[in-house]
Chain A
């Protein structure tokens, strides 16, 4: 494998506390090394450019059954964004739900090298992996939806967390996934009976337990299994005015499990869970309350789910929420489904508009949270692709973060009522490139427990992105448009020591790896006749056909961890 020496760039590497230092990065055999000999190595002179580790996205729906259903119902989305093939790259379509190849190309062009696919129904895992195989240029992993899985609920209700942990470990192995995803805990199971849960203490039908029990139980299980990531939680009451109280209740509930070392939970797309006001007419931001809580506590991390004002497609496992959105959004075409004993799902096209008061306030909430949470290691930048906006709108979000001017320019065009309610004019904070590197790669890699990602220290994966931004001479806040453009068009993206993007053009298309956890428990879960009988009775897939086998994954990266049960 070739050796590469990246010379004279301004390096931003928050994990190693390197802030805008002019230094060289040496790459050998796909890893960052101390040095390489200049005579053998390919030398890239990046004088005056910004060098960061490859971007790590913590939450982006890029593959799986819901994504593919979204593609099916939105031919109108594809027709406006047709991507032609080149000598190297494949053709495809884009916009809110790009085809697999286009997803890889576009992420790579922005300098992203690792993406987490956050919502995989266990039953549909094979499909998700087949799609992930076809996404080139990025490493990826999936989170399995386990918050409403019958076996888990039964054991939590019994209080048998150890057996629950063994079952979860079996499921993580069987679906080749990376973390525990919990969506509207209890709500999805209730949705099977046409109901929903509206607080942490509502009862889940037929299981004698509450969302609070599920969240705390799963957090305990996560700790028992020594999982690298925390539980990945989509809160109850998402998308309902006044839901910030539920979100704070959820975070408070998790305080009891916190052991004081590392975060215990991650709330995803928290913008959708930070609504205040009693109804849509009195809709307002609950960002301040959420940010105050997070500033005072260390046991949670969050990602934002920023709105970018796009004609997008919402998709989530939260079936009842999507039904509410269908009623609210003018009866657009939609999909709603129940995934047997595990989850549910829903898809609706949705256009977030500047002139709509609620949408504009939502946009403001996302940025208020980003700017009011003081420690950038506690929150991460996402748009919850494609729910808040497609992922290739990230540079826009960066601009709103590092430039007050950019925020004002957008706010000026927003709904007047929303402008009055927004806290943004009172916030002066502007992100630095160092902080931006935290919320887009270093922090996410740390939260995900990816030791070799998100930094440029020796031994890290040689995932590097280089942008045409000169931090010495550029005032990024004032020239936000050119910086935004630079973030969308990486000068170089290096993936595992191979140059894949040069001057915003794809120059190589290697396959990325699919990371999965081999959670080794001390004793296996009880796969007995009872479990097999239940599979026969309630699942449409036979027990023996259920697990994802090795041949489903093109380039696997098995990460073995030892559980304490």
Chain B
């Protein structure tokens, strides 16, 4: 296990793509210390910014980061195997394009966490930022598989262009949840802000709390007693089932819990 701690408080953003199990594998501690990162516009080595120690007796997690990493970006980007544990806050693009392995954040994570991810697991025990699991600007391929669990709240535009996998949010979600979603599942334990599922054409969004306002381009389909989150988990309803986004000729589904959404009762007359 490699342990990394910051040497100082950072004032500008650090790009640390090299903090990645795939990169560290097969390297000596000295090699790891000399890996290049950028701090603002300067290129420095990992050792210039962090204390790095190795504990050969412990196997997993492969990398442990302890301290404030909120200005450190792109940790675990494109990682295929292994496990990273971050004890503290972490910056943007954590686990971007993840295609395997595990990243656990015992703190808050920044924007674009798990962006364009394909496989693997990201667990955030605090809040996660805007654009969690959403693709880079302009890209129309979002999260394709894997699992993201956020124990806190998430920001806006979460799960845009999502095609597969599961995002489980134990807190509340911001605006534009599941924007342009094509497949996969988003589960929100608490409330959800406006424009949920805008432009969605597939997939499902399950909301166990209150929907602030449903888009007019969704039509009520039925009331279901329960809904499957994945192969093992089921959410107990009853749920209103809405189909949309009709403006995009979509067949995505929004499940809104009946008990917490009394405003949706006006839709019942169309059933």
Contact = CB atoms under 8 A, between A and B. Distances in A.
A74 B140 contact: no
B140 A75 contact: no
Contacts, number: 18
Chain B interface mostly: loop
Interface in A310-366: 332-333
A294 B53 CA distance: 72
Interface residues of A, number: 8
Contacts of A79: 136, 139
A69 interface: no
Contacts of A73: 138
A547 B14 CA distance: 48
Contacts of A76: 135-140
Nearest to A72: B138
A73 B139 CA distance: 10
A332 B140 contact: yes
Nearest to B139: A76
Nearest to A331: B248
Interface string B136-163: 1111100000000000000000000000
Contacts of B135: 76
The residue in A74, A76, A333 that gathers the most chain B C-beta atoms within 10 A of its C-beta is: A76
Nearest to A78: B138
Contacts of B137: 75-76
Nearest to A77: B138
A75 B136 CA distance: 8
Interface in A54-103: 73-77, 79
B135 to A, nearest CB: 8
Contacts of A332: 140
Contacts of A74: 138
A77 B137 CA distance: 10
A76 B116 CA distance: 12
A332 B140 CA distance: 9
A74 B140 CA distance: 11
B114 to A, nearest CB: 17
A18 B201 CA distance: 61
The residue in B135, B138, B139 that gathers the most chain A C-beta atoms within 10 A of its C-beta is: B138
A117 to B, nearest CB: 25
A79 B139 CA distance: 10
Contacts of B140: 76, 332-333
B67 to A, nearest CB: 29
Nearest to A75: B138
A6 to B, nearest CB: 39
A252 to B, nearest CB: 43
A376 to B, nearest CB: 40
Given A75-B137, A76-B137, A333-B140, 7 more contacts: A74-B138, A75-B136, A76-B135, A77-B138, A79-B136, A332-B140, A333-B138
8 contacts: A73-B138, A74-B138, A75-B136, A75-B137, A76-B135, A76-B136, A76-B138, A76-B140
Interface of B: 135-140
